[in-house]
A and B are shown apart, each in its own frame.
Chain A
Amino acid sequence: MSLWTELLGAEVGFVHAGGVRTRVVSLGEGPPVVLLHGRGGHLETFARNLPALAGAGRRAVAFDLLGHGLTGRLADASYTVGELADHALGVLDALGLGRVDLVGQSLGGWAAALLALRAPERVRGLALIEPAGLQSEAERLADGAVRAAYERGGRAYAEPTPEAVRTRLAGLLADPVGVDSELVAVRTALYRPEEARRVHRLVRAADNTPYLLTPERLSQLDLPVLLLRGEHGHTPDAVVAAARAALPRGRRLDVPGAKQWPQYERPDLVNDALIDFFGKENP
Chain B
Amino acid sequence: MSFWTDALGTETRFRDAAGWRTRSIEAGDGDPVILMGGLTGHAEAFLRNLVPLAERGLRVYAIDALGHGLTARPTDVTYHAPVFTEHLIGFLDAIGARRAHLVGQSLGGWTALYTALKHPDRVGKVVSVTGAGLLLSDDGRAEESEKVHAKVRSVTAKAAAAPTRESVRQRLEWLMVDPATVTDELVECRYRYYTLPGAEAALAKLVAEQPSEENRAHLLDEDALKRITHETLVVWTDHNPTTPAEVGRRASQILPNASFDMITDAGHWPMFEQPDQFNRIVGDFLTADPR
Tell me whether B7 and A4 are in contact (CB under 8 A). Answer: yes
Assembled-state Cα–Cα distance A190/B4 (Å)? 12
Tell me whether B2 and A12 are in contact (CB under 8 A). Answer: no
Tell me whether B13 and A5 are in contact (CB under 8 A). Answer: no
A4-B185, A5-B185 given as contacts; is B5 within 8 A of A10 (CB)? no
Assembled-state Cα–Cα distance A190/B192 (Å)? 29
Question: For residue A5, which residues in chain B have a CB less than 8 angstroms away from its CB?
Answer: 3, 185, 188-189, 192
Q: How many residues of B contact A (CB 8 A)?
A: 20
Tell me whether B13 and A11 are in contact (CB under 8 A). Answer: yes
Q: Give the distance to chain A from B193, nearest Cβ to Cβ, in Å.
A: 9
Question: For residue A190, which residues in chain B have a CB less than 8 angstroms away from its CB?
Answer: 8
Q: Is B265 an interface residue (CB 8 A)?
A: no
- Point out which of B4, B13, B14, B185 has the most chain A C-beta atoms below 10 A from its C-beta: B4
Question: For residue B7, which residues in chain A have a CB less than 8 angstroms away from its CB?
Answer: 4, 12
Q: Is A117 an interface residue (CB 8 A)?
A: no
Q: Give the distance to chain B from A198, nearest Cβ to Cβ, in Å.
A: 19
Tell me whether B9 and A70 are in contact (CB under 8 A). Answer: yes
Task: Give the residue of A8, A70, A185 whose beta carbon is less than 8 angstroms from that of B2.
Answer: A185
Question: For residue A9, which residues in chain B have a CB less than 8 angstroms away from its CB?
Answer: 70
Tell me whether B184 and A12 are in contact (CB under 8 A). Answer: no
Q: Is A2 an interface residue (CB 8 A)?
A: yes
Q: Is A150 an interface residue (CB 8 A)?
A: no
Q: Give the distance to chain B from A23, nearest Cβ to Cβ, in Å.
A: 9
Q: Is A139 an interface residue (CB 8 A)?
A: no
Tell me whether A13 and B70 are in contact (CB under 8 A). Answer: no
Residue-wise, chain B 46-65 has the 8 Å CB interface mask toward A (1 for contact) of 00000000000000000000
Question: For residue A10, which residues in chain B have a CB less than 8 angstroms away from its CB?
Answer: 12
Closest residue of chain B to A9 (Cβ to Cβ) is B70
Assembled-state Cα–Cα distance A186/B2 (Å)? 9
Question: For residue B8, which residues in chain A have a CB less than 8 angstroms away from its CB?
Answer: 70, 186, 189-190
Task: Give the residue of B1, B14, B185 whose beta carbon is less than 8 angstroms from that of A1.
Answer: B185
Task: Give the residue of B4, B10, B11, B13 whose beta carbon is less than 8 angstroms from that of A182.
Answer: B4
Assembled-state Cα–Cα distance A8/B3 (Å)? 11
Q: Give the distance to chain A from B88, nearest Cβ to Cβ, in Å.
A: 21
Tell me whether B188 and A11 are in contact (CB under 8 A). Answer: no
Assembled-state Cα–Cα distance A123/B13 (Å)? 27
Assembled-state Cα–Cα distance A182/B8 (Å)? 12
Q: Give the distance to chain A from B80, nearest Cβ to Cβ, in Å.
A: 28
- Point out which of B7, B11, B192 has the most chain A C-beta atoms below 10 A from its C-beta: B11
Assembled-state Cα–Cα distance A4/B192 (Å)? 12
Assembled-state Cα–Cα distance A44/B70 (Å)? 22
Question: For residue B12, which residues in chain A have a CB less than 8 angstroms away from its CB?
Answer: 10-13
Tell me whether B11 and A3 are in contact (CB under 8 A). Answer: no
Tell me whether A1 and B188 are in contact (CB under 8 A). Answer: yes
Question: For residue A182, which residues in chain B have a CB less than 8 angstroms away from its CB?
Answer: 1-2, 4-5
Q: Give the distance to chain B from A68, nearest Cβ to Cβ, in Å.
A: 14
**Chain A, range 145-201, C-beta contacts under 8 Å to B:** 182, 185-186, 189-190
Closest residue of chain A to B189 (Cβ to Cβ) is A5
Q: Give the distance to chain A from B96, nearest Cβ to Cβ, in Å.
A: 16
Task: Give the residue of A7, A13, A44, A189 whose beta carbon is less than 8 angstroms from that of B11.
Answer: A13
Task: Give the residue of A2, A12, A70, A189 whose beta carbon is less than 8 angstroms from that of B185.
Answer: A2
Closest residue of chain A to B70 (Cβ to Cβ) is A9
Closest residue of chain A to B12 (Cβ to Cβ) is A12
Tell me whether B9 and A8 are in contact (CB under 8 A). Answer: no
Tell me whether A4 and B2 are in contact (CB under 8 A). Answer: yes
Tell me whether B13 and A8 are in contact (CB under 8 A). Answer: no
A2-B4, A3-B2, A5-B188 given as contacts; is B70 within 8 A of A12 (CB)? no
- Can you report 6 residue pairs joining A to B where beta carbons are below 8 Å apart? A2-B188, A3-B4, A4-B44, A4-B189, A186-B4, A186-B5
For the complex with contacts A1-B185, A4-B7, A13-B12, 18 further pairs of A-B residues with Cβ separation under 8 Å are A1-B188, A2-B4, A2-B184, A4-B2, A4-B185, A4-B189, A5-B185, A8-B189, A8-B192, A12-B10, A13-B11, A14-B11, A44-B4, A182-B1, A182-B4, A185-B2, A186-B4, A186-B5
The 8 A-B residue pairs with the shortest CB-CB distance, nearest first, are A4-B3, A3-B4, A13-B11, A2-B185, A12-B12, A4-B4, A5-B188, A185-B1
